[in-house]
Amino acid sequence: MSYKIKDLSLASEGKKQIEWAERHMPTLMEIRKRFEAEKPLKGINISAVLHVTKETAALVKTLKMGGANVALAGSNPLSTQDDVAAALVEEGISVFAWKGENETEYYSNIESIVKIHEPNIVMDDGADLHVYIHEKVSSKLDIYGGTEETTTGVIRLKAMEKDGVLKYPLIAVNNAYTKYLFDNRYGTGQSAIDGILRATNILIAGKIAVVAGYGWVGRGIANRLRGMGARVIVTEVDPIRALEAVMDGFDVMPIAEASKVGDIFVTATGNTKAIRVEHMLNMKDGAILSNAGHFNVEVDVKGLKETAVKVRNIRPYVDEYTLPNGKKVYLLADGRLVNLAAAEGHPSEVMDMSFANQALAVEYLVKNRGKLEKKVYNMPMELDYEVARIKLKSMGIQIDELTEEQKEYLEQWKSGT
Amino acid sequence: MSYKIKDLSLASEGKKQIEWAERHMPTLMEIRKRFEAEKPLKGINISAVLHVTKETAALVKTLKMGGANVALAGSNPLSTQDDVAAALVEEGISVFAWKGENETEYYSNIESIVKIHEPNIVMDDGADLHVYIHEKVSSKLDIYGGTEETTTGVIRLKAMEKDGVLKYPLIAVNNAYTKYLFDNRYGTGQSAIDGILRATNILIAGKIAVVAGYGWVGRGIANRLRGMGARVIVTEVDPIRALEAVMDGFDVMPIAEASKVGDIFVTATGNTKAIRVEHMLNMKDGAILSNAGHFNVEVDVKGLKETAVKVRNIRPYVDEYTLPNGKKVYLLADGRLVNLAAAEGHPSEVMDMSFANQALAVEYLVKNRGKLEKKVYNMPMELDYEVARIKLKSMGIQIDELTEEQKEYLEQWKSGT
Amino acid sequence: MSYKIKDLSLASEGKKQIEWAERHMPTLMEIRKRFEAEKPLKGINISAVLHVTKETAALVKTLKMGGANVALAGSNPLSTQDDVAAALVEEGISVFAWKGENETEYYSNIESIVKIHEPNIVMDDGADLHVYIHEKVSSKLDIYGGTEETTTGVIRLKAMEKDGVLKYPLIAVNNAYTKYLFDNRYGTGQSAIDGILRATNILIAGKIAVVAGYGWVGRGIANRLRGMGARVIVTEVDPIRALEAVMDGFDVMPIAEASKVGDIFVTATGNTKAIRVEHMLNMKDGAILSNAGHFNVEVDVKGLKETAVKVRNIRPYVDEYTLPNGKKVYLLADGRLVNLAAAEGHPSEVMDMSFANQALAVEYLVKNRGKLEKKVYNMPMELDYEVARIKLKSMGIQIDELTEEQKEYLEQWKSGT
Amino acid sequence: MSYKIKDLSLASEGKKQIEWAERHMPTLMEIRKRFEAEKPLKGINISAVLHVTKETAALVKTLKMGGANVALAGSNPLSTQDDVAAALVEEGISVFAWKGENETEYYSNIESIVKIHEPNIVMDDGADLHVYIHEKVSSKLDIYGGTEETTTGVIRLKAMEKDGVLKYPLIAVNNAYTKYLFDNRYGTGQSAIDGILRATNILIAGKIAVVAGYGWVGRGIANRLRGMGARVIVTEVDPIRALEAVMDGFDVMPIAEASKVGDIFVTATGNTKAIRVEHMLNMKDGAILSNAGHFNVEVDVKGLKETAVKVRNIRPYVDEYTLPNGKKVYLLADGRLVNLAAAEGHPSEVMDMSFANQALAVEYLVKNRGKLEKKVYNMPMELDYEVARIKLKSMGIQIDELTEEQKEYLEQWKSGT
């Protein structure tokens, strides 16, 4: 078996990490049990580009136990946990990833996992692998289909679909309800606060927190901040979302106003420059700036750096910027995703649902080989429900089922008679 | 002017009611101001079937100030406020409605508002008027289009659209975000609790409340009950919604279990027999049963009546049923919508948004006369936003606008490059 | 048996009311069960001045079942429920009370319940009866002791104690933890909102509510308003309480500022003129004023009446005052306790604990006849705990008990070694 | 100047830490400003035993700027931050403390700060220094008085007062409302969750959390856990507190029951063995055990260690114990205070109030030299209020003041006329 990682001797440490993750990923573990028994992926070659973390390890091991051969590269040059990579190699996974790859190494690793075997299934997180296969691989491959984990990746693939260039069917795992309804709201909602606390150790109670954006991420963060005792202000550009925020009991105002009163700022807009230098100049001395959106453009870090008269590091992930007006603002994690940078990203419980969808999506592609068109499919609703059902069961929670009479009633009612 | 109401002398009392409503309907009042100045409905004949309440009066007056001639009948034989009807007649509206109409009178009133003038716009709440016009009116009418307020009505009209029988374009006001996201969650969420309190005067803190259904209505009620100090159990048939309820901190279990521990039950499932006799027999002595769903089928009232060995009225809207096992359960408002029956239904603030949509929908139909197809349209998004924008402004709340750079960023990002 | 009430034929209606109360007073019912078996009050004469409500009826019946002879007068000329009074007479209680007594009648009724038998126990709500006996009754009475329900009454009695004039021992039931920790926070917290909703039917979500005072009542109201979706501002004069409010996530500011932004105002300060005319002149057009404090002096109603250029009644319990600046404010229930005036006061569940304390206090006075000094005692702690214990049991809730090891640990630790 | 620390070269790092603390201790900084101007402690010798943290540094520097000479030793052999100690030495404070002192060194350091100068004021955290001076120092000292920061210390000192052996007056800073109402509820409430998250990275939403004890700490934790999306169960031995928990919307049950359903356990009882081996054997596989009470006796760690068949470390602060029944439980931070061990303890904002009280208490002792008795005083109420007032001001929050009329009303009312 071929692989390329940092240090195989880290495997035992990595194994404990993976165990801890698996313990908090009961949905995936339930699927693994079935995969082990049924071997639905028997002989299937999978090439996957994913963050090489303990949770991904739990997924990849599950695929292998289902019968697949898996080759794995990292989806980000900085996110690989080297001990986990080592443990995976010991489990028989062909891993090509280490923390701190340069760009050449990153793409070379992607190349390796395609060359190592002829993939039947292509799993991706950001679509770099899909694009690579479409653009660089000329040999004819027997690919049943692929999956995509992220919003960004899905957008890229849909653009390819529109241009008619897709070479195999794709499942947008990202669009599963059991993924996006949960990871944004509950995952980022908690971990953003975790990141802020680890970086600053401030008391949230009594503070005025400003959350830019009231999408799923913003809602999650706003609710959790309120749950910790903050007074929360929401800023929005969408009047319907703004109105929901008001009805949910939050203060809503333009960032130009909010910037004058906030103690802590968290951006979650999905847009650029939600907080600009003009707003920073408004801020109270000591204001804390952080970002929970995917890209590090929501706080205008570049503008801040150009404007500041002095910068120094205070604590890990806390940089102090002295503004021309003499006031200081504190930027967390250089404006990058505060939950990933200053804490540990999504808890395993959240990845559990995301990766349960991945496992079921892979099985679906194998089962439906040749039946799907070359387009981007949403996660099949029955699998989405299946994930929710297993998760609930794993938590010891039972729910009701429709009686025959209720099914008829709904049927009848929807048909409008 | 022709009309048929209970008692014109009630007008002054009705006028005060309407004033109180108008004070809490700032969105509609803002639109009224513009309508008064611009007269966009000049000369338009409107026939409307709506609940004749103080809030509807505010809408109808607005349409009239916009230049329209309005004839109004009630959409429910019991919901007409006679003093409001009188006040509307004094305002020059042709009202045909009184509390306690029989079925013949109900349909005769519908007939009257179509005969009194040739309607250009048809407004409805439940689609009885639309169906009447389609089925019973043979003369050729110059109808620009119609609006529909309810889910039920929209379903009926979509069935007609599917059958290809629609005679004019329709706007599903019900589907406006600023309607259904708000009236269910915040309107019913509050008013259901209001109804329970008026009926029973129980202390909610410390009680175990069971909310059947975690749709928008159920979410609203569950949150408000928690806000009043109850421990809340949610029952669901949909595993994704069930999982959301758990993540939102609620207990989730089957009604068969919940029925054993609940003190207060509220149904909001949109389905029949969410609580059945078998569950009632499980309940603690003294359990309180209520319904917040549209139809009075969610609690199996019929089954309860057949099973009970004794029934007596205890307080207004509270009936005591003694079960064969000797325990007593208390049914509120005979299983009908508890917020309408035992309290005053939606607060004016909620109808404000719904009826602002109605007013803008009517204007849109007039402006786009002849340009629309004979199908059921969703509320145009720009009008939906407009309602949210005016509502926020009326509350003194300003929000952000996208900068040019931000618009470009979003554009670029969505296009996937 | 002697009595004086409005109409005995109302008894059957009153009986249903009392049943409904008893169903929600499980603590008192548990005590009643024991009283019925043990007859601890056998032959004891009790004279009581209490609000003649369905909950008081449950208490008085319990005392009677414990063996006592009870004579009851009303503690407020307006609070007597005539049907309840009738039902009590049928139960063999000497009631002297009706709704709408004039002052002469009020005192004559007090006189009657002292004359009708020689009281051994004196129960009071406001201390009018205690004062009457001390000042007006010259004959020598065999009084074992008395109880007092209210803060006001306790203050009067402590002043008498200080002056050395007390003729019998008194138990300040008002000071029981299971009374004041619960009725203020949870009772008034809920019922004040109930009163506001019944009076106005406004939507609380999205409103700015101003709560004057952050004592137990203010905390209860602020929390419940937040639970209904309001943004809540607290005003305080005590900096420690103000800081707690901030840490609990509320906005805190002076009433001079809060008056400019609030939509709904509720006073709970225990002081006079918490909201003055100068503040009313600041308010937004349409502001709603209400009071949840004991006396109707917290909102300066007198000042408002003198200042307003026009007053009219809009709905029951809603008066519109037009100010010289043209704006209108709406005063609920004439500034009296909004939960009592516009709703039904404390739910039975709250009176349950208060009256369980009363029942146990009476039993304690009988048991300790002759052993107590002529002073005002706090509710004995063991009885207070007993009430909590029975209440929990009645709710089906079990709690832990200290192990021997834990008792020793606490003992040792508190002794500081 | 004499001192004994780890490494003076760490001073610049320590200085940044102190700056970060000072930025979040505005109350103390406001007092510092006044102390700098007024020099109320001019020439006063202070010997202090406190945790040598960045927050303590902010206090000690304040005392020095007020004119005092300060000698400082650590109050715990493990809590000293060596960089902070170095920075303090650079500021001219005689520090005798380093991380990892052995017991001999610990007491030797205490000795040093008494020998270095004749203390006028003695500050302590746990009473070790007070006891040392009382028992070991025979020379006559001119001590004006002392302060004590902790509950434990106050208990020891009160035992000494009772025995009549106190040699100087003491102020129980611990008993200030602005200390104990805030650090327990808001400080530990947040930091306990912070510690759990850092140790485990689990998702709190959807979990069942069991909080043992509903005192101030337990309330804080229960509320914050609910704010993060957990379903929270409270266990209690006190029926009144248990009832409050129920009324606050929490589930209450005995630990014997709660142990069967909980995912996360946090103890805050102030007692020993709140969670015993018999309960651990009940627990679900994977249950997490942690303690937020002062002493590490609340979870029976000793019993767990004796019972477990296997122990291994999984992550920092997470030990896995395999029970004889095959299930695993995870103990955080070896059962020690999870917020101190796995996170950073109280945020600076909380210590701000505690240490503002300390600073004012020291000034008070100096001002009242010779006027106080040799007993344990509560923090003077006017200073307590002063701390709250400054804190509010530092947060930009203004509150109301009583008018003359209001003062009279209160006066009159309290006097009972």
- Kindly state the average pLDDT of the residues B262-268: 98
Model confidence at B139, pLDDT cuts 50, 70, 90, reads confident
Query: Is D231 touching B (CB cutoff 8 A)?
Result: yes
| Chains sharing 3 or more CB pairs under 8 A with chain B | A, C, D
Between helix D216-227 and helix D189-200 the angle, nearest 10°, is 60
What confidence category does residue A138 fall into, taking pLDDT thresholds of 50, 70 and 90? confident
Q: What's the mean pLDDT in D183-208? A: 96
Q: Which pLDDT does position D294 carry in this prediction?
A: 86
**Least confident range of C39-53, C65-79, C150-164, C402-416:** C402-416
Band of the pLDDT at D324, cuts 50, 70, 90? Answer: very high
D201 CB near a chain A CB, below 8 Å? yes
Is residue D417 scored above 60 in pLDDT?
no
A205 with C230: Cβ contact below 8 A: no
Query: What is the per-residue DSSP string for C287-343?
Result: EEEEE-SSSTTSB-HHHHHHH-SEEEEEETTEEEEE-TTS-EEEEEGGGSBHHHHTS
Between chains, do D190 and A201 touch, taking CB under 8 Å as contact? no
Give the integer Cα–Cα distance in Å for A357 and A263.
Answer: 39
3-class DSSP string for C216-258: HHHHHHHHHHHHCCCEEEEECCCHHHHHHHHHCCCEECCHHHH
Chain C residue closest in CA terms to B320: C20
Identify any residues that bridge with D96 across adjacent strands, giving them in sequence order. Answer: D4, D73
B203 — pLDDT class (breaks 50, 70, 90): very high
The DSSP secondary structure of D225-255, one letter per residue, reads: HHHTT-EEEEE-S-HHHHHHHHHTT-EE--H
What mean pLDDT comes out for the span A362-382? Answer: 97
B388 → closest Cβ in A239, A273, A297? A239
Q: Under 8 Å CB-to-CB from C391, ≥6 apart: which residues?
A: C26, C27, C178, C352, C353, C356, D239, D243
Query: Which residues in chain C touch residue B348, judged by CB atoms under 8 angstroms apart?
Result: 201-203
Under an 8 A CB cutoff, do C236 and D155 touch? no
B124 touches chain C (CB under 8 A): no
- Residue-level pLDDT at B415: 66
Which D residues in the span 282-321 are in contact with C, Cβ-Cβ below 8 Å? 297
Segment A35-85, tens digit of pLDDT: 999 999 999 999 999 999 999 999 999 999 999 999 999 998 888 999 999
pLDDT beyond 90 at D415: no
- Residue C412 pLDDT: 81
pLDDT single digits (tens) C195-240: 999 999 999 999 999 999 999 999 999 999 999 999 999 999 999 9
| A389 at B interface, C-beta within 8 A | yes
pLDDT of residue D10: 97
In chain D, whose CA is at the least distance from the CA of B227?
D249
- Looking at the DSSP bridge assignments, the partners of residue D315 are D318
Instruction: Give SS3 for A377.
Output: strand
- B350 with C203: Cβ contact below 8 A: yes
**Helices B82-90 & B11-23 angle (0-180, nearest 10):** 90
Residues from chain C that touch B343, judged by Cβ atoms under 8 A, are 197, 201
Residue of A nearest to B249 (CA): A186
Residue C257, chain A, CB below 8 Å: the answer is: no
Whether the CB of A382 is below 8 Å from some CB of chain B: the reply is: no
- Selected for mutation to probe chain D from B226, B231, B234, B252 (highest D CB count within 10 Å) is B231
Mutate to test the interface with A, among B243, B257, B391 (most CBs of A within 10 A): B243
Q: Using a CB-CB distance cutoff of 8 angstroms, which residues of chain C are in contact with residue D236?
A: 399-400
Q: For B206, which of D205, D229, D247 is closest by C-beta distance?
A: D247
Label residue B228 by pLDDT band (50, 70, 90).
Answer: very high
Q: How confident is the model at residue A313 (pLDDT cuts 50, 70, 90)?
A: very high
- At B417 the pLDDT is 47
Q: How confident is the model at residue A152 (pLDDT cuts 50, 70, 90)?
A: confident
Q: Which two tokens stand for residue D223?
A: 């509320």
pLDDT tens-place string over residues B384-400: 999 999 999 999 999 99
Say whether residue A242 is in contact with chain B using an 8 A CB cutoff: yes
pLDDT of residue D414: 66
Residues in chain D: 417
* Residue range D84-110: mean pLDDT, rounded: 96
C224 lies within 8 A of chain B by CB: yes
Mean per-residue pLDDT over chain D, rounded? 96
Residue D248 to residue B231, Cβ atoms within 8 A? no
CB contact under 8 A, D197 and A343: yes
pTM: 0.96
Q: Which one of A226, A247, A248 has the shortest CB-CB distance to C249?
A: A226
* A254 three-state secondary structure: coil
ipTM over 0.85: yes
Confidence of residue C138 (pLDDT cuts 50, 70, 90): confident
- For residue A140, the model assigns a pLDDT of 84
Q: Nearest CB to A206: which of C229, C230, C247?
A: C247
Contact A190 D198 (CB under 8 A): no
Confidence of residue C294 (pLDDT cuts 50, 70, 90): confident
Distance from CA of C151 to the nearest CA of B (A): 22
Contacts D402 to C, Cβ<8 Å: 237, 271
B·C CB contacts under 8 A: 99
Residue-by-residue DSSP string for B35-52: HHHH-TTTT-EEEEEE--
Q: State whether residue D411 sits within 8 Å of chain C by CB.
A: no
8 Å CB contact of A400 and B297? no
**Residue D257 touches chain B, beta carbons under 8 Å:** no
As given in the structure block, the two tokens for residue C391 are 């209440």
Q: Say what the pLDDT of residue C140 is.
A: 83
**What is the token pair recorded at B135?**
């089925």
Q: What mean pLDDT is reported for chain B?
A: 96
DSSP B289-303: EEE-SSSTTSB-HHH
Chain C residues in contact with A243 (beta carbon < 8 A): 206
> Can you give the length of chain A in residues?
417
Instruction: Tell me the shortest Cα–Cα distance from D201 to chain A, in angstroms.
Output: 6
Q: What angle do CA D351, D356, D360 make, to 5 degrees?
A: 150
Band of residue A2 on the pLDDT scale cut at 50, 70, 90: very high
CB contact, 8 Å: B226 with chain D? yes
Could you read off the pLDDT of D374-390 as tens digits, one per residue? 999 999 999 999 999 99
pLDDT score for B379 = 97
| Nearest chain A residue (CA) to C231 | A249
D174 labelled ligand-binding: no
Kindly give, in sequence order, each residue whose CB lies less than 8 Å from that of residue D45, ignoring residues fewer than 6 positions away. D68, D69, D71, D117, D118, D119, D120, D121
Element housing D278 (H / E): helix D277-280
Measure B414 CA to nearest chain A CA, in Å. 7
The alpha carbon of residue C97 is apart from the nearest alpha carbon of chain D, in Å, by 26
C230·A248 Cβ contact <8 A: no
Res. D191: pLDDT tops 80: yes
Q: What is the mean pLDDT of residues D313-335?
A: 97
Mean pLDDT of B137-145: 90
Selection from A349, A374, A378 nearest residue A361 by Cα = A378
- Average pLDDT of chain A, as a whole number: 96
Minimum distance, in Å, between the CA of residue C31 and any CA atom of chain B: 19
Name the residue of chain D whose CA is nearest to B226's CA.
Answer: D249
For residue D121, the cross-strand partners are D46, D145
Question: So what's the pLDDT on residue C176?
Answer: 97
Average pLDDT over residues B120-147: 94
Mean pLDDT along residues A159-185: 95
